[in-house]
Structure 1
Amino acid sequence: MPDAGGRTGLLIEAFLAWMTVQKGASEATRKAYAVDLAQLAEFLRGQEIDLGQPQTVTRRHMQAFLAWLFRKGEAKSSMARKLAAARSFFRFQMRGGKVAENVAAQVRNPRQEKRHPRALNVDETFALLDSATGPGGKRGPVVGSAEEERILCRDLALAELLYGSGLRISEALSLDVDDVQLSSRVLRVMGKGSRERLAPLSDTSFSCLKAWLEERPLLALPDEAALFVGARGARLNRREAARIVERLCRRAGLTFTVSPHSLRHSFATHLLEAGADMRSVQELLGHQRLTTTQRYTQVSLESLMQTYDQAHPRSGKR
């Protein structure tokens, strides 16, 4: 069916104008949605359907559109974005009374492949955590201004808890000073679903945390309860924490950077590779379900196979 009078183009332009004015869409989003909707219109023309008459488009057409994209080799993330553009477009048409239902909203997003964060190997982890080693191999902040040493002391303590105790970044940033029990070498952690657990402190985590607690009063606001605080003395946020780990990666001379969650991921992976019991790792990570912990076994197996391929004389890949 031909696009009489350029109906499709007019409807798309009206929608994009509404997205810009009413939704504050960026120019990049506007351009991406324009391309996505033009591609949808192209597909529908092949089905003898005119997007300029949106009431003629059905859920089956949208399902067929996703199947067409899949056969073309589109990434699932790209397919999901195109579906999001179509949903917004039909939502706009509903507001204008041109359609009675949002057919794009009746179609599920393509299932995304779950990507694990990069797990550091043991050497990389130690390089990152030792990046603040002082003169003569002494553990602790390197020589610098008093403020620089204080910040570095905090950074190292945070990284040690993420790897040494396997904390989620949200858990580490939620810690208050009162949650630290140095005498028994444990942390009181509030995990997902408001479930409390005790997380052990390694020797190095204990030392770094003790050093930070001595420096913290010089940086924290008087009434601030948070264990980790930023330069202004208030509770550290996730963006600042991400920058801390990136900074430690650079100090360690790593050719890549990782996220705070990669340190927790490395904690679990290294325990499993060393033969730790799955149930124990589950408790340490604060997972409610064992199946969540079992995801790490696949990563450990991949690492094991990579080592085998590189080292075994009969692997066929040497």
Structure 2
Amino acid sequence: MSKGQDVRKGQNPPTPAPDRAKLFVDAFLVWMEVQKGASPATLKAYGSDLAQLAEFLRGQDADLGKPETVTKRHIQAYLAWLFRLGDAKSSMARKLAATRSYFRFQQRSGAVTENVAAQVRNPRQEKRHPRALNVDETFALLDTEHKPGQPGAESAEAERLLCRDLALAELLYGSGLRISEALSLDMDDVQLASRVLRVMGKGSRQRLAPLSDTSCDSLKSWLDERPLMALPDEPALFVGSRGSRLNRREAARIVERLCRRAGLDFTVSPHSLRHSFATHLLTAGADLRSVQELLGHSRLTTTQRYTQVSLEHLMEAYDKAHPKATKK
């Protein structure tokens, strides 16, 4: 044994102390999944957010694994640090929400007597909404006809992918689904005869979403093509090129391709189709409560945001067209 070697013969090196912060966060995430029905995306985001907070607190003489050491000032300093890093206010609000949920869990378990994160106000948010397509733009996006000179129009594979892409887009717009809801659909969630979908929404809340005529037609076309792409035991309704469940990144690329195919000079996100669905319904005079049910919102205030968007569009049209409007 060389001189100065610390570990004696036959003795194992000391085991590093467990990371208390990680243990506490993991326990919280299990609770979120089991008791709150949090989605995998929420669990991943909260886990990442709390890991970042834990790392920040290590330099502030506080420990997320010892929640009683964390104060309101620590949380305020964390938000100030995020601001200096250039985080968007929406991202900061989500990280504060994760922190509040974590300390609420610790409060319930008796580790702390107060929720210090709940004492910190959300950063003021910019009023931003996803871009809503107008009716003509939506019809162009969902057009099933091939445009002259469009590449791959004769390819069987291209036709198959187009069937899938249009079926997905029709559900996002025609049924107002969240992209996560559409991608989590399995084959047995589709009931074409009853013209409904069984959808698992946020918080594991299940609802039935209606299918439009065009959605039914698009789904029938895709279901004819799906066996040529899907793996034998894959239950997912929408599959990617490898035959397994389609992911969010590819879904975003699908909507971008459809925008280009429609000749639009801009692209939108999958959520914009759901946003357009709600906006068009309210503009046409649909009842707010009915739209709430269709969107799967747990609170009416969430749906009311779309009312404000519809009003903004109405005022824009008034300002542009009415002779008595004040032109700017």
TM-score by length of 2: 0.63
SS state at 1:205 partner: helix
Letter in 2 for 1:250: R
Tell me whether 1:157 sits opposite 2:157 in the alignment.
no
Shift in Å at residue 129 of structure 1? 0.8
Structure 2 counterpart of 1:215: 225
Give the corresponding residue for 1:113.
126
Residues 117 and 265, structure 1, Cα contact 8 Å, conserved in 2: yes
Which secondary structure does the structure 1 equivalent of 2:177 belong to? Answer: coil
Q: In structure 2, what residue type is equivalent to 1:203?
A: D
Match of residue 122 from structure 1? 135
C-alpha contact 1:162 1:263 (8 A) present in aligned 2? yes
* Corresponding residue to 1:310 among 306, 309, 320: 320
Shift of 1:115: 1.9
Q: Quote the Cα distance in structure 1 between the aligned partners of 2:169 and 2:129.
A: 19
CA separation of 1:77/1:254 partners in 2, compared to 1, >3 Å: closer, same or farther? Answer: same
The unaligned stretches of length 5 or more in structure 2 are: 1-71, 97-118
Structure 1: 5+ residue stretches without partners: 1-57, 85-105
Q: Counterparts in 2 of 1:48-59, with a 5 A limit?
A: none
- 2: distance between equivalents of 1:80 and 1:198? 34
Match status 1:133 vs 2:145 = yes
Structure 1 match to 2:275: 265
Q: Which one has the largest radius of gyration?
A: 1
The separation in 1 between residues aligned to 2:90 and 2:275, in whole angstroms, is 27
The number of residues matched between the two structures is 230
Could you tell me the percent identity over the aligned residues? 78
| 1:212 Cα deviation from its structure 2 partner | 0.3
Match among 294, 297, 301 for residue 304 of structure 2: 294
Q: 1:75 to 1:252 in 2, by over 3 A?
A: same
Question: Secondary structure of 1:212's partner?
Answer: helix
Shift of 1:164: 0.3
For residue 178 of structure 1, what is the aligned residue in structure 2?
188
Once the two structures are superposed, residues 232-283 of structure 1 have per-residue CA deviations (whole angstroms, 9 ceiling, x without a partner) of: 0000000000000000001111111000000000000000000000111011
Q: Does the 8 Å CA contact 1:133/1:142 hold for their aligned counterparts? A: no
**2:155 corresponds to:** 145
Give the match for residue 215 of structure 2: 205
**RMSD, aligned α-carbons:** 3.3
Is the contact made by 1:182 and 1:206 (CA closer than 8 Å) also made in structure 2? yes
Question: 1:300 & 1:76 partners in 2: Cα distance?
Answer: 26
* 2:321 partner amino acid: A
* Deviation (angstroms), 1:298: 0.3
Query: Matches of 1:248 and 1:231 in 2, distance apart?
Result: 17
Q: Would the alpha carbon gap of residues 79 and 197 (structure 1) be closer, same or farther in structure 2, given more than 3 Å must change?
A: closer
Corresponding residue SS for 1:225: coil
Map 1:1-40; keep pairs closer than 5 Å. Answer: none
CA deviations on 1:208-249 (whole Å, 9 max, x unpaired) are: 011000100000000000000000000000000000000000
The separation in 2 between residues aligned to 1:194 and 1:80, in whole angstroms, is: 25
Partner residue, 2:21: none
Match of 1:245 among 252, 255, 264: 255
- What TM-score results when the alignment is normalised by the length of structure 1? 0.65
The structure whose residues are more often helix, as a share, is 1
Mapping for residues 77-96 of structure 1, pairs under 5 Å:
77=89
Equivalent residue letter for 2:135: V
Matched residue SS, 2:130: coil
Q: Which amino acid aligns with 2:145?
A: T
CA distance in structure 2 between the aligned counterparts of 1:253 and 1:301, rounded to whole angstroms: 28
Cα deviation code 1:79-119 (max 9, x no counterpart): 969xx9xxxxxxxxxxxxxxxxxxxxx96563322421111
